[in-house]
Chains A and B, each alone.
Chain A
Amino acid sequence: MPYGAVAAIAAMALATYLCRIAGVLIMSRVRITRPVERALGALPGSIVAATIVPIALRSGAPAIVGIAAAIVTMRLVRNELAALLAGLGIAALARALGL
């Protein structure tokens, strides 16, 4: 069909925007009770854990030591850039060493 690629990009944009607003629309109809509040409180860390743990295990040892180095650095100096650089440095080093 003509302009097919343009239509595909528009459809992707629409699908993505609907995802972005859907959570807010759904939650605006939900009463924030104590269990809902606890669920929302646990959700940010759960999203992170559910995202990075499978990626880390799939990417192997360099990813795992890099993530560990970033967390340790973060706890020590409380600076995201330092933690990112330490994590990337250790992960790159682990790869260079053939881990």
Chain B
Amino acid sequence: MPDPLPRPTLTWEGCLTGARLMMPALPGIVVYGLAFGAASVNRGLTFGQSLSMSAIVYAGASQMVSLEMWRDVWTPAAIVTVAIVTATVNARFILMGATIQPWMRGAPVAQNAFNLFFLVDASWLIASRYRAEGGRDIGVLLGSGMISWVLWIAATAPGYWAGSLVAEPRTYALDLVMPIFFASLATSLWRGVRASALPWGVAAVVALAVQALVPGYAFIVAGALAGAITGALAREPV
């Protein structure tokens, strides 16, 4: 009989597995990092500010949005505003953390606190799929998040130097890297029409409705919560 609460393992091998599973996402991360670096120099950030934002915020969409609000003179109110907008864009991390919490139960708090710093969309998705396939090693989450963090910072610097020299990425559809990569990974999360179609469909419809009605990024969290509630209410699979 399996232990109801097995301690999660975190090994070096797991980290390496996570880094390897992350490989397909890395070109997209580099391109996105280059784009952020280039955009940040145009908005007046210093090199140190651009690099440190990538290092300690480490969340591309919110970094890009913050550039829209960047200014030369910062009031306390402007700082609070940029923090709130950042939290809104990154609220999806709250839901992602909720899905991996059962996995982290029993692990040391400091280890979880460290591990969660590196949580990003792609590492979460890779770790979720790995776990859905029976994996136990939480190093997969850490390894995939860390290699992406290193490359994110590494790509910010040349992007900053190149400034506006970065060629138009739309020609190569590079602006679509993340949705396309997400879709291909989500294919492995599919659990059949009965278990997946209804909650995913509700999530998509609610997200579209909220996107049409509410400005900003609230649609992600609203749609995802609607899908989760649908899943909770759905009849027990026989």
Interface residues of A (CB under 8 A from B): 1, 4-24, 26-28, 32, 34-36, 38-59, 62-63, 66-67, 70-71, 73-75, 80-81, 83-84, 87-89, 91-92, 95-96
Pick from B93, B191, B229: contact of A39, CB under 8 Å: B229
A23-B53 CB under 8 A given contacts A45-B199, A51-B182, A88-B177: no
Interface 9-mer from B8-16, B95-103, B150-158, B159-167: B95-103
Asked whether, in the complex, the Cβ of B24 is within 8 Å of the Cβ of A80, the reply is yes
Contacting A at CB under 8 A, from B196-238, are 196, 199-204, 206-208, 211, 219-234, 236
Contacting A at CB under 8 A, from B21-54, are 23-25, 27-28, 45-46, 49, 52-53
1/0 contact trace for B82-115 toward A, CB 8 Å?
A: 1110110011111111111110110000001100
Residues of B within 8 A of A54 (CB): 204, 207-208, 211, 219, 223
Q: 5 tightest A-B contacts by CB?
A: A42-B231, A46-B227, A4-B74, A23-B97, A50-B223
Q: Nearest residue in B to A36 (C-beta to C-beta)?
A: B232
Residues of B within 8 A of A63 (CB): 176, 179-180
Asked whether, in the complex, the Cβ of A23 is within 8 Å of the Cβ of B95, the reply is yes
Residues of B within 8 A of A18 (CB): 87
Pick from A27, A39, A70: contact of B183, CB under 8 Å: A70
Asked whether, in the complex, the Cβ of A49 is within 8 Å of the Cβ of B84, the reply is no
Asked whether, in the complex, the Cβ of B187 is within 8 Å of the Cβ of A74, the reply is yes
Q: Given A23-B95, A54-B207, 16 more contacts at CB 8 Å? A: A12-B66, A14-B83, A17-B116, A20-B116, A38-B232, A43-B227, A44-B186, A46-B200, A46-B223, A50-B222, A51-B223, A66-B173, A67-B179, A80-B24, A88-B180, A96-B171
Q: Interface SS of chain A: helix, strand, loop or mixed?
A: helix
Asked whether, in the complex, the Cβ of B172 is within 8 Å of the Cβ of A88, the reply is yes
Between A and B, 22 residue pairs with Cβ closer than 8 Å are: A4-B73, A5-B45, A11-B83, A12-B63, A16-B59, A16-B90, A24-B112, A27-B97, A32-B102, A44-B99, A44-B189, A45-B196, A46-B199, A48-B186, A48-B189, A49-B204, A50-B206, A53-B207, A57-B208, A62-B176, A87-B183, A87-B184
Asked whether, in the complex, the Cβ of B76 is within 8 Å of the Cβ of A8, the reply is no
Q: Nearest residue in B to A87 (C-beta to C-beta)?
A: B180
Pick from B80, B208, B211, B228: contact of A43, CB under 8 Å: B228
Asked whether, in the complex, the Cβ of B173 is within 8 Å of the Cβ of A43, the reply is no
Q: Nearest residue in B to A89 (C-beta to C-beta)?
A: B173
Residues of A within 8 A of B186 (CB): 44-45, 48-49, 52
